[in-house]
Amino acid sequence: MKIFECGNCFHPLYFENSSCEKCGNQVGFLENDLDLKSFDSSFYSISSKEKGVTFRYCENYKFGVCNWMIPQDGPSEFCLACSLNRTIPDLSDQENFEKWKKLESAKHRLVYQLLRLGLLNSNSNPENPTPLLFDFIAKQGNPDINTGHQNGLITILLSEADSVHREFMRKQMSEQYRTLIGHFRHEVGHYYWDQLIAGQEDELQGFRKLFGDERLDYGQALQNHYQNGAPTNWQQNYISQYATAHPWEDWAETWAHYLHIMDMSETAFYFGLSVQPLIKESSLKGKISFDPYDIQQFDKIYKTWAPVSFAINSLNRGMGIPDAYPFVVSAAVLDKMIFIHRLVSQ
């Protein structure tokens, strides 16, 4: 995520801000500008490229879960990010409400990233038979409801927004990392497999060379994985143990990591981060001098990101919190990410 600033006083802003803490001006996110903009008292943008348009906040602003703006006289009451919701929880329950807030925060970051990658255009195309949609629901003892993806519909269980439950699940599943943004990035990976690869012979062949044959029985493969775990040498070819379960899960896991790295690189670029560690090994020097979304070669993005990630992990260890990126990207995994970046950049 990039760093934003107030259009009135240039105070730095977070993506989630709806007013400037310094000058008090209203700010909101404009999807066409992909930027947080400042608004005067009649809701004209001070700095948007959309001149002469009056805006209003998305309907979900009143719940404190959205700061995106829509044209004052536009047809929808929701912004693009919120219009992807098919089901939201019953908000009269305060616990549900708090969990939904966390889900929205992660989802808005996801949607920003999909917009940066130019991947949401097809959603507004009325001819797209499977637009991307979200169900945020409680399991309520129903074994058939799980976090997952089916035909464009992504379900995220409300319980995933409970950090105690999430940590419990992380340990139970022997995962190194479990976060809300990670869930969103993984599940949307399944959606984009359908959009970018299914039914396209060339892409399918490229996919199978790297990830394996997805015609393998999915249900059986998952069952095997939960019974036997990952093969001992999984780190040579996979980003996580779960990625070994089936080529589709390998794709979704690798896709999520691709999005992690792109987001971290973008943030590092906008903060002008560079690392010059005081050791002899020169491969750990790095300066992210480009916006990764403008770069064609993913290996270049990866090479400049890796030292920064190592530095961020070291800072986290100093604070006694888990590594921000607790994974090793092998050469085989990097090839998979290069494939994804090429596919997305097309």
Using the minimum distance from each CB to Zn ion, give the nearer residue, 252 or 311.
Answer: 252
Using the minimum distance from each CB to Zn ion, give the nearer residue, 198 or 315.
Answer: 198
Dist. CA 148–CA 1, nearest whole Å: 25
Dist. CA 324–CA 161, nearest whole Å: 18
CB of 249 to Zn ion, least distance (A): 5
CB of 102 to Zn ion, least distance (A): 15
Q: Which of 170, 169, 159 is nearest to 95 (CA)?
A: 159
CB of 317 to Zn ion, least distance (A): 29
Dist. CA 333–CA 192, nearest whole Å: 18
Using the minimum distance from each CB to Zn ion, give the nearer residue, 155 or 265.
Answer: 155
Tell me: does residue 11 bind Zn ion (CB under 5 A): yes
Residues in contact with Zn ion, shown as a per-residue x/- string from 38 to 77 under the rule CB under 5 A: --------------------x-x-----x-x---------
Cα–Cα distances in Å, from 313 out to 34, 101, 329?
A: 29, 27, 15
CB of 311 to Zn ion, least distance (A): 30
Q: Give the start-end residues of each E strand in 218-341.
A: 274-275, 286-287
Residue 263, classified by CB atoms within 10 Å of its CB into exposed (0-12), middle (13-18) or buried (19+), is buried
Site for Zn ion in 233-252 (CB under 5 A): 249, 252
Site for Zn ion in 82-141 (CB under 5 A): 82
- Which one of 2, 5, 18, 23 is in contact with Zn ion (CB under 5 A)? 23
CB of 185 to Zn ion, least distance (A): 11
Residue 163: both structure tokens together: 């950090």
For residue 91, what are the β-bridge partners?
Answer: none
Interface contacts to Zn ion, rule CB under 5 A: 6, 8-9, 11, 20, 22-23, 25, 58, 60, 66, 68, 79, 82, 249, 252
